[in-house]
Amino acid sequence: METTSEYILDAVERLVCVKGTKRLTIDAVAAEAGMSKGGVLYNFGSKRELLLGVVRRVVSEIRQTTYAYSEKFREQGAACPMLAACFEIYKEYREKTAPKALFALVLQEPGLVAEFQEMSGEFAQAIRDEMSDPVLGQMCELILDGLYYRQAMDIEPKSAGEVDELIDHVLEVASQNSKHARS
């Protein structure tokens, strides 16, 4: 069962996707959630707390799912399970509007970006740790960053199939150069 706070955050996500953060108000969130303004303020004291709540929830979901995929790929014998997991998350999120809305959100509220920076740094280190060549690890990190940012800014002229081919090639090259490559 969803908690009141989660229900409110769902309403915030829907509103941010449709209206952006500039027109997001406590009143609009209350109306979208079907509750009073006081009910929203009881759970979240300000618009910033609402936005931070959404960011933290999304980061938590991405982190949990990425580590679950990484473990699954590790069990399947993948040479670069964290890299494969990060690409899998990208594929899942590329069709959703939430990443674009969240990117816009952190651009308008720069203080919220710290949550993403911490997670991104954590994943990047895990990817670099998988590589025998640190430069290749950084290249993989930058490729992932580029894919995410192009998606968030809606500047992906390549088809999903073309991007999937790129991902497959990067994983193949990375696997050949991972610390766990099979000889």
CATH no. for residue 10? 1.10.10.60
The answer as to whether 141 is a domain residue is: yes
Residues 141 and 74 in one domain: yes
pLDDT at 23: 76
Residues 62 and 136 in one domain: yes
Confidence class for position 108, pLDDT limits 50, 70, 90: low
Higher pLDDT, 62 or 95: 62
CB–CB of 44/65 below 8 Å?
A: no
The answer as to whether 166 is a domain residue is: yes
Read off the pLDDT of each residue in 93-105 and give the average, rounded to a whole number.
67
Give the closest residue to 170 by CA, choosing from 149, 143, 135.
143
Residues 94 and 36 in one domain: no
Confidence class for position 116, pLDDT limits 50, 70, 90: confident
Give the closest residue to 127 by CA, choosing from 72, 40, 66.
66
Alpha carbon distance 78, 98 (integer Å): 29
pLDDT at 182: 54
The answer as to whether 182 is a domain residue is: no
Residues 68 and 122 in one domain: yes
Confidence class for position 166, pLDDT limits 50, 70, 90: very high
Percent of the chain with pLDDT over 90: 50
Alpha carbon distance 46, 79 (integer Å): 45
Full domain range(s) for residue 40: 1-45
Give the closest residue to 63 by CA, choosing from 8, 100, 118.
118
Residues 30 and 71 in one domain: no
Q: How many domains are contained in the chain?
A: 2
Residues 21 and 87 in one domain: no
Confidence class for position 51, pLDDT limits 50, 70, 90: confident
Residues 85 and 120 in one domain: yes
pLDDT at 15: 86
Q: Judging by beta carbons within 10 Å of its beta carbon (0-12, 13-18, 19+), is residue 80 exposed, middle or buried?
A: buried
Name the average pLDDT for the chain.
87
Residues 28 and 63 in one domain: no
Question: Looking at the DSSP assignment, which residues form a beta bridge with residue 131?
Answer: 178
Residues 91 and 158 in one domain: yes
Q: Please count the other Cβ atoms lying within 10 Å of the Cβ belonging to residue 105.
A: 23
In tens, the pLDDT along 24-41 reads 899 999 999 999 999 999
For the entire predicted model, the pTM comes to: 0.83
Q: Where are the alpha helices (DSSP H) in 76-159?
A: 81-93, 98-108, 113-130, 134-152
Residues 75 and 165 in one domain: yes
Residues 82 and 14 in one domain: no
